[in-house]
Structures are given as structure tokens and as C-alpha cells.
Structure 1
């Protein structure tokens, strides 16, 4: 890397400060221990390591639900070991917040050990796009490639269209397919209306992780994303588990929503003024990093501007 205070964005422009969340530099290992954040709800924190999601293990009286697996079979095996230790002989379910390498490509470890649940949109992504993700992510770094070694993409045991409720015994898990929003197959998991697992619909102290990374992932609907965040805020969960970053509350969801509204409005104004998406991205990124100075991942601003520009083009 050249100057440690600058990073080159996807369009070749330089960001104004170092990016503290660069994929591939650190081994994306699930290395945390489960911490009980609400009665019967455990979270394995991501430690702000790229490609490591926050992972949930939820215990009911007679069943347990795992939310997300980490990248690759070895991480999936680690998560399964934690789940089995906590759950004992309870029946296991697995759900993922989106079918991408970081969140769901450890599912093979659960095959035969848990009932694997995907939304219909996640199954579509599995059958039509997952193999391309594997090839692309294998080229990101030796650490990521090693985590994908021996990968098998596995189908689910149960699928659903928009909403599925799982009775864990005294604890209710509600899965909702929310995409297309951040991507085509976003899924949220509510636990008794007290804990929300939101996946990459929002992160803590991080510019939202957008499509266009990899560049072929263009499934995005900014308006639906904002509407989805409004609905999640209205549910008023006590504890909010983001896709990445520290546990938080609905205030962080509101902050991400405000950022997306800002991006949408700025992209529209810049486009009306005749600016290219690269020109607009440079201007918007500079102001956004000043407005949200503690957020990591500034390169994501440029992906976001391009995504909003493309949505405006489609809607012409």
C-alpha cells in the first residue's frame, strides 16, 4: 500500500483517510466465544474482522437456531461445535441472513446435523450465482482462498417465500425475506420481538457493505432498503445484532437509514447536474466521511453512489 492515509477507491479516486476494514488482509476466522446477550440468545462477535459476521445461537426449550456460519467449511464446523455445546441434544436449525460467502458458505458443516432453512430468494442465489462468488472470493487473498478450500455448496431442507416462524419451545424465531434491498436475498431474524439479527442491512460504525463487490452483484433496491430499515426501527427490538460490528440498538439502524437517504438524495442531485457516477462519488465521499467520521469502510461509499446511479438509470 502506498500512503497509509489514503486508499484508492473502485473508480480510481483516492479516499481521504485510511480504511480500517480491508477484506482479505486478516484471516477471516470465527474466533470469538458465544456471549449471552439476552435470555437464551448468544452471539459470537465478529471482532471487526472482514468476512466474519456476527453469529447467533438461540436456545429454546426443545430446539436451537443458528444464524449465519462464517466463510467456508472450517468456520462452519467451529460454529456447529459451539452450537452443539450450548444446545445439548436440542434439535438444531440453521438460517443465514444472505447467501454469500461470509454469511452462508459454511452451511455444509451443518448438513445432517441441523435442519437448514433458506428463503426462496436464497435458494435462487445458491443455484444461479453462488459458484461465481466462490471463484471471485478465492482470488481476493490467500487467507480467503484457504477458508474456501474443500467448499461444497449445499441446498436447504426447508424453504419459504416471505415469512417463516420457528417455534424453538418457549422462544419464537421469525424469519423474513426482505430483499431485494441491500441485495436480492436479505433475511432478518426476530427473536420474540426482543432481539433482531439484521445481516448486512446495517452495520455498526461502518459504511454499509454494498453490492458491486464483487462487481457482478448488482441486485440492489435503495428505496426498498430504506423502507425495510423503517419497518425494522418500528419493531423496537431491545438488542440489535448487525451483520458486522458491535451489538447496538435501533439508533444505529436509524443512522444507517439517514445515511442511505442522504446518498439517494445526493446521487439524484448530482445526476441531474450532469455529473458522472465517479465524479459524484468523489464529492459525496468527501462529505460523507466528514459527516460520519468514525465509520470504517469508506470505499463502500463509492459502490453505493454507483448503485443509486444505476437504479436511477433503470427507472428512467
Structure 2
């Protein structure tokens, strides 16, 4: 895989991708979120506190963001041990992990670890090339960080003392190694980019460099997540909400798959489908952010039989 930019990119004018750790808020007893404020390339970051340890979910992009998240976690956790995990390998979610190296037990699933090792350099180069200078600045001096522990899956329990967080992976979906985190008994679900609130799903469909998407499994996994009956859903990006977020994203995926398949059967090519369908999809979801991802999704579905 090379670091060549794809022929189509989501680059646009945007603010610096800075995690605002000062905005951390408690969404349930001992469960905190640093919100993304809808800033592009900033994730919702989770910090979950137990009696003995704390778990951080995602770091933001680059060492400075990682340091801000680490400082917030240490402030909330006090002297407790720290764990770090990522929802997936993408730079805006995990390329700040070096701030935790030696300061926390770093835990990934094996597919996530392997995908990070395979695609690290390419994504670093691509993000520097296609996004504004503020992204390159955020990624300055970024180093790859491998986990201390890599679990095989599908489930891994992290015991924080009086609180268990269940990590789960279910095969390729948005990436090869997507991971959710479920906090019981509060029933709080962290989804990463499997679900984003009022945001067109991110399809990193960049052939030939990256084609690691399985949208059928993605939709199935969202259905399984809904069956967990979460009381609170923390999406990868956007506002914290309810299970409705999962259902809306799943409906989008299934509807778009069907609409593209119908047009493929009628003999239309990908360019024609994009031209006809993308404006209609955008009009259907007028409040959703980042419509540039519609084209990527259509082109992905156009490759399916």
C-alpha cells in the first residue's frame, strides 16, 4: 500500500483538529466524554473510571492531542492505573497514543493492531497530503504505538475495579479492526466510527490503496449493537444520544445498498449512479454533516455483485 492520495478526497476548509480536554463532561457516574464539538477530524473521547483503574477510549490526532487527553485522564483518575484502547486505527482516533506509552496499559484487538502496522505510514502520508496544514501540524513527530496486549476477540473484559468494560470486535466493517466498548450496568456504548450522529458514514474506499470495508457486516453489527439495548450511545463523531443513532446509520447503509444495486442491475456505471443518486441522498438527510462521503459509499456499493 502506498501513501498516494485517492483520486477523490474529503479535504475542505476546516479548523485545527484540536481535542478540547477542558470540555470534558460526565454522562454517568464515573463515565466521561470529551466532546468533538463537531470539529472535523476530532473524535469523541471516552474516560471510564473504576475503583482501581481507568480506561481511555481514543486519543485524538497527534502527540499534542494525546497529551491533552492523557492529562485529562490522569486528573480524573487520580492515582489509579490507566488503560488505553482505540475504536479503530484511523489517525484522528489513535495517532496520539504515544502520550500513553509507558503511562498506561495499551490494549487493541489483533485485527486493529495488524491493520495499524500495515497502514500506519500510508495514512500518515495521506492525511498530511490531502488535508489542510493544521492537520500536518497536529501529526508532527507522531510515532506508531503498538499495544502491550492484543486480544483475539470477539470479546475482552477490562476490569477497572467494581466496573467491567466489555470490548468487542466483529470482523471487518468500517475498518478491519473496529471495536466497540460497552459499560455495564449503565448500558453506555462507545461505537467509534461504526456510528456517527447526523453524519454521513465514513467509507474509506480508496482503491487500490485501501479497500478494507464490509458494509454488510457493518450493518449487521449495528443491529447487534442495538440488541444490547444501550441507554446512551457515544458515537465516533457528533452528539451523544440514544439507540436511534445506530438505527439511523443502519437504515442509511441498507437503503443505499439497495438503491445502488437496483441501478447496477439496470446497467448504470458508478459515475452515473453517483450523478443520479448522490444529490437525492443528500436531500434526504439535510441535517447530516460531511456529504462528500456519499460518493465514496456509492462507489463502494457499485463494486458489489
Task: Tell me the TM-score range normalised by the shorter chain.
Answer: over 0.9
SS at match of 2:303: helix
Match of 1:305 in 2: 298
Aligned pair partner of 1:119 in 91, 104, 109:
109
1:214/1:170 Cα in 2 relative to 1: closer, same or farther (>3 Å)?
farther
The Cα of 1:182 is off from its aligned counterpart by 1.4
The Cα of 1:284 is off from its aligned counterpart by 1.8
The Cα of 1:25 is off from its aligned counterpart by 2.0
Q: Which runs of 5+ in 1 are unaligned?
A: 1-9, 13-20
TM-score by length of 1: 0.90
Aligned pair partner of 1:38 in 8, 28, 31:
28
Aligned pair partner of 2:56 in 66, 83, 86:
66
8 Å CA contact 1:69, 1:103 repeated in 2? yes
Aligned pairs for 1:119-158 within 5 A = 119-139=109-129, 140-158=131-149
Partners of 2:206 and 2:237 lie apart in 1 by 16
Q: Which moved more, 1:124-133 or 1:51-60?
A: 124-133
Aligned pair partner of 1:28 in 17, 23, 42:
17
The aligned length equals 295
8 Å CA contact 2:270, 2:298 repeated in 1? yes
8 Å CA contact 2:50, 2:162 repeated in 1? yes
Q: Which moved more, 1:210-219 or 1:236-245?
A: 210-219
Match of 1:276 in 2: 269
The Cα of 1:214 is off from its aligned counterpart by 8.6
8 Å CA contact 2:11, 2:132 repeated in 1? no
The Cα of 1:125 is off from its aligned counterpart by 1.0
Partners of 1:73 and 1:204 lie apart in 2 by 26
Q: Which runs of 5+ in 2 are unaligned?
A: 1-6
8 Å CA contact 1:54, 1:242 repeated in 2? yes
Aligned pair partner of 1:170 in 162, 165, 169:
162
* 1:65-94 deviation per Cα after TM superposition (whole angstroms, max 9, x unaligned): 000000001100000000000000101000
8 Å CA contact 2:274, 2:298 repeated in 1? yes
* 1:99-118 deviation per Cα after TM superposition (whole angstroms, max 9, x unaligned): 11000000000000000001
The Cα of 1:177 is off from its aligned counterpart by 1.3
Alignment RMSD: 1.6
The Cα of 1:252 is off from its aligned counterpart by 1.4
Aligned pair partner of 1:227 in 209, 220, 231:
220
The Cα of 1:217 is off from its aligned counterpart by 2.3
Partners of 1:24 and 1:176 lie apart in 2 by 35
The Cα of 1:186 is off from its aligned counterpart by 0.7
